[in-house]
Amino acid sequence: MSELKRVLDARGIAILTVGSVIGSGIFLVPSGVLRDSGGSVGLATLVWVVGGLLSFLGALTYAEMGAMNPQAGGLYLYLRDGFGRAVAFGYGWTLFLVIGAGTVATLAVASTNYLAALVPMSPVVQKAVAVGLAFGAGIINVFGTDRSTGILKWGTMLKLAAIALLVLVLPILGTGFRQVERVWPTMVTGGTLSAAGLALVSVLWAYEGWQYLTFMAGETIDPQRNFPKGLAFGVIALIVIYLLAATAYIAGLGPAGVAASTRVAADAASTVLGPIWGKLIAIPIIVSMITAAQANSLASARVYFAMARDGVFFRPMARIHPKYGTPAFAIVVAAVWAAVLAASGTFEVLLKYVIFVGWLFYGLGGLALIALRRKQPDTPRPFKVPGYPVTPVLFALSGFAIVVNTVYLDPQRGLIGLGAAALAVPVYYVWRAIAGTGGGAAP
């Protein structure tokens, strides 16, 4: 078997999109967004809308490239064809070492922390459970993409059911809306806009993950039609879900309560429904984080698979399992690395200094569309992004803004992160020299 099986329809892509993105963000981030918005409910809501729209512009941009080149690897392929193999390798290498595995490790540890509140565990047992979850979230994807999608479907349904409960109950039983003294700031200043920009960074982080669905284009049935449709519907669903959830939290806790909370979903449920519900809500939150880790592992392995096929990564990662039709070796190696990071705790340092660099590549992915239209003008494009070139440029600018904002607010962190990503370039040329290849497909 030389190609991955095409088993995903538009519905499957939409489910994967929602399942990948909804992890811990919507259960935690709304507090910081409201604080950074100066406690203004209207401004915070506007930030959620703007973040969703920017994400939607990105989804439309990537959808054109996914329909044009529906192969496993997604963004890696767009960067490779748009800006060259070294830039694409930089993204894939950073994804493998930090962004992908580090995110899985983070979600595994965070879900274990929530679990420890329900089932007391010693620190040693807690770390062992986190390592097991980080490894298991990847390994489960070996046994078929359709089977993995089925598991994600049920996990996504559970997390959406929990959010739906809060969205329906909190506005009815909560008294938070009465505590809203003003919807909009009394005066809009430069400081207000700067604070809103900081809040937007958190919102875009909460939306992050839809980019990973481009990695799955090679397993989509009729990708020219189903991939753009599924990705667009998935992001639209996320915008609606996030707006409803953020509003429901305010209904439950009031603006001051939301801004002061560190676990806003649990605190809202506990305040309105009672302490027992504050603990029970931890169950779907745990499931949410584990399924997000699974979706992350499922998608990221396709990039390592594509890199190996290009001859710039470990060649066994280009193998497809003869029975399950998945890049099993790539999945296993990534799962082992995620488990190592979860055990060592170094993922926290890695993520702190490098995770924001992902947005540099996401922004470049937006500009890759412009490069590809110039380089490959005659390539069939079953789907074309509306509003070109404004759409990809706006999305690219939002990605670059996150990077610039990070460097501005924390120069040490920013320079270390950018420097670590830049090291991928010499590593790429060393790899090519050792492999003795200019980038041909791996057998």
Q: How far is CA 1 from CA 176, 257, 316, 324, 440, in A?
A: 57, 56, 14, 10, 19
Q: Give the tens place of pLDDT for each residue, 4-48.
A: 777 888 888 888 888 888 877 788 788 888 888 888 888 899 999
| Model pLDDT, residue 80 | 94
Quick one: what percent of the chain has pLDDT higher than 70?
94
* Identity at 383, one-letter amino acid code: F
Q: Note whether 421 and 97 are within 8 A (CB).
A: no
| Model pLDDT, residue 159 | 86
Token pair in block for residue 14: 């939409």
Could you write out the three-class secondary structure of 351-362?
A: HHHHHHHHHHHH
The C-alpha atoms of residue 151 and residue 390 are separated, in whole angstroms, by 38
What dihedral do alpha carbons 95, 96, 97, 98 form, nearest 10°? 40
Q: What phi and psi, each to the nearest 5 degrees, are found at residue 362?
A: -65, -40
Annotated domain spans of the chain = 10-435
- Range list of H helices, 261-281: 264-273, 275-280
Would you give per-residue pLDDT tens digits along the chain (443 residues)? Answer: 566 777 888 888 888 888 888 877 788 788 888 888 888 888 899 999 998 998 999 999 998 998 888 887 889 999 999 999 999 999 998 899 888 888 888 888 888 878 887 888 888 998 899 999 999 999 999 988 888 888 888 888 888 898 999 999 999 998 888 888 777 777 666 666 777 777 887 788 788 888 888 888 778 888 888 888 898 899 999 999 999 999 999 999 998 888 888 788 888 998 988 888 888 888 888 888 898 899 889 889 999 999 998 888 888 998 988 888 889 999 999 999 999 988 887 666 666 666 778 888 999 999 999 999 999 998 888 888 999 999 999 999 988 988 887 787 778 877 888 887 888 888 888 887 776 644 444 33
| Model pLDDT, residue 353 | 67
| Model pLDDT, residue 438 | 45
* Burial label, 421 (beta-carbon count in 10 A; 0-12, 13-18, 19+): buried
Nearest to 52 by CA among 227, 251, 245, 323: 245
Q: At the topology level of CATH, where does 10-435 sit?
A: Amino acid/polyamine transporter I (1.20.1740)
Q: Which residues have CB under 8 Å from 15's CB, separation 6+?
A: 149, 152, 153, 156, 234
| Model pLDDT, residue 436 | 61
The C-alpha atoms of residue 252 and residue 195 are separated, in whole angstroms, by 24
Token pair in block for residue 437: 């290849």
| Model pLDDT, residue 439 | 43
Token pair in block for residue 238: 């996320």
| Model pLDDT, residue 42 | 87
Q: What is the mean pLDDT of the chain?
A: 85
| Model pLDDT, residue 278 | 80
| Model pLDDT, residue 398 | 86
